[in-house]
Structure 1
Amino acid sequence: MDDANSWYKQGNDMMMQEKNEDAIVAYDKAIELDPTYTSAWNNKGIAMFRLKRYEDAIACYDKTIEINPNHANAWYNKAKALRGLGQSYLDKANEDRVTAAKIINQSLAIFESAEKCYVQGDILSGEKK
């Protein structure tokens, strides 16, 4: 295939089969042949979004918007990708918070063990009865 539209259609076929990585390759070929092919840029962004590659998706939507600032779907898709990226940051923060809580609980258990050791040391040295 040596025309952008054929590669674009192949990308769409790959997306329908949920073969997003293959779709990206096909869209890249379409874009290589026609760098202003907004539908290929937009759909490449959709494939990236499906793979949770939000920053890459946003870059594709930005390119689509650069070529055609009135491309409504690109704006909508960029909004979804930004929300996805934002949510991924919240999820990471939540994971860190959970990890922090586990570490705090482990620390508290260690301090409790340490306190028991201090008490036992006091008992053995005659400081407490």
Structure 2
Amino acid sequence: MNKTVEDLANRWLKQRPDALSKLESRVLQSALDRTTISKDTNKAVAFHQTFGDRVADTIARIGGSWSFILTFIAFLVLWTFGNVWLLSRDAFDPYPFIFLNLVLSMIAALQAPVIMMSQNRQTERDRIDAAHD
């Protein structure tokens, strides 16, 4: 069962070995050696990430999770319940919850650009993956 690149070229590609491109020869040799040609693009991307990139990806991953959404809903319900019923006389943020509105606006103002940075990096990763396919 000693096959060569020439045997595979004739059998699979129906071509003479000297008509093969360098890439085709490399693929056939890889098949004979039972090795992979692909590269781990995640390692290449991770190597170039800065601390800010990793923080932005973490914030985007947390902000897009169900645990964050459910925790945030619970926070809003507790805030509303606490200020309307429990602290009705001495509420620190009475209805219409202006302070809560300010807090939510600040979170959105910080979280939106961070998520966009993370999406831009994901687009770049996808572009690198597509180039290696």
Instruction: Give TM-score scaled by structure 2 length.
Output: 0.30
Give the structure with the higher percent helix.
1
TM-score, normalised by the number of residues in structure 1: 0.31
